Amino acid sequence: MSLLLDEIALATARLAEAGVPSPRTDAEEIAAYVHKVRRSELHRVADADFDAMFWACVARREAREPLQHITGRAYFRYLELAVGPGVFVPRPETEVVAGWAIERLQEMDVADPVVVDLGTGSGAIALSIAQEVGLAQVHAVEVDPDAYAWAKRNIVEHGQGRVSLHPEDLTDCLQELNGQVDLVISNPPYIPPGAIPRDPEVRDYDPHRALYGSGDDGLDEVRAVERTARRLLRPGGWVVVEHADEQGSSVYWLFPEDKGWRDVRNRRDLTDRDRFVTARLGQE
């Protein structure tokens, strides 16, 4: 095992020099991927089995290609998802958003809640809800063909029969469910035009259509989510929308009382930053 440890240490130094935020973790994840084991199982890899492919992958990560594109997998809550070029890589902060929705659904006095995930991307949120809320009827909406293909792949692997995937636009989707949905959730594009993400992994690899929102403030897609949620939800149903940490107050006011919204709240992620807004559609 000593050779492998030495190689991982060298790789960690190279990744740290390149500015990779979690160099040791990434070096170990690459080693685990190359040797087809989990990171916790690296102790099983013999020195003689060490593969030169490791260094090719390290070079890709050194160039700031996302780890998830190299390994082809992303972890989200209790799922291991297939990801790659053409789909947004799910982030840890979105796990908090999904977690709030799951807790709310589990508290509902509804045996088989109906859930809609607008702009599902890889399917991370929809699949997590289906996995953790046993009888939920989950509808995932994705209009982009590349992201749709990734979502379909993940749903076949993890959610066959539990998540329905719809190739529709979030602005006019699922008309047949108007007034019947218990919870609408979305992580829409919201970065304002002209704002450039600092991290190369995001700026250079995540699809721009999943990052940059329309309108001067980047929030036109959030406005569309508000309109669609208002149409889909039953009275008393909830909407959950992720946003950038500096957009909390702006998104809050997109769910006004005069449009029927109640209990509007801005909620924080694990770093104590504004991360998502929740609101309940008022009872008629």
Instruction: For residue 190, say whether it is annotated as part of any ligand binding site.
Output: yes
Instruction: For residue 266, say whether it is annotated as part of any ligand binding site.
Output: no
Quote the CA–CA distance of 262 and 260 in Å, as a whole number: 7
Instruction: For residue 121, say whether it is annotated as part of any ligand binding site.
Output: yes
Alpha helices, DSSP H only, in 108-144?
124-132
Asked whether 137 and 182 are in contact (CB, 8 A), the reply is no
207 catalytic residue (yes or no): no
178 catalytic residue (yes or no): no
- Tokens matching residue 227: 């309109």
Count the Cβ atoms, other than its own, within 10 Å of residue 60.
15
Instruction: For residue 188, say whether it is annotated as part of any ligand binding site.
Output: yes
For residue 231, which of 170, 148, 189 has the smallest C-alpha distance?
Answer: 170
SS3 assignment, position 260:
coil
Instruction: For residue 167, say whether it is annotated as part of any ligand binding site.
Output: no
Catalytic residue among 54, 187, 255, 276: 187
Instruction: For residue 187, say whether it is annotated as part of any ligand binding site.
Output: yes
Instruction: For residue 189, say whether it is annotated as part of any ligand binding site.
Output: yes
Catalytic residue among 54, 66, 76, 88: 88
Quote the CA–CA distance of 76 and 67 in Å, as a whole number: 14
End-to-end alpha carbon distance in the chain: 66
255 catalytic residue (yes or no): no
Torsion sign across C-alpha atoms 276, 186, 29, 84: negative
Instruction: For residue 94, say whether it is annotated as part of any ligand binding site.
Output: no
Quote the CA–CA distance of 20 and 52 in Å, as a whole number: 21
Instruction: For residue 260, say whether it is annotated as part of any ligand binding site.
Output: no
Residue type, 269: D
Instruction: Give 152-155's long-range contacts (Cβ < 8 A, gap of 24+).
Output: 153/82, 154/79, 154/81, 154/82, 154/122, 154/123, 154/124, 154/127, 155/123, 155/126, 155/127
Catalytic residue among 76, 188, 255, 276: 188
Strands 181-186 and 261-268: unpaired
Quote the CA–CA distance of 198 and 18 in Å, as a whole number: 14
Please, what is the Cα angle at 200 between 141 and 154, to 5 degrees?
30
Show binding-site residues.
Answer: 119-123, 142, 187-190
Active site residues: 88, 187-188
Q: Which residues are annotated as a binding site for substrate?
A: 187-190
Task: Provide the annotated binding site for S-adenosyl-L-methionine.
Answer: 119-123, 142, 187
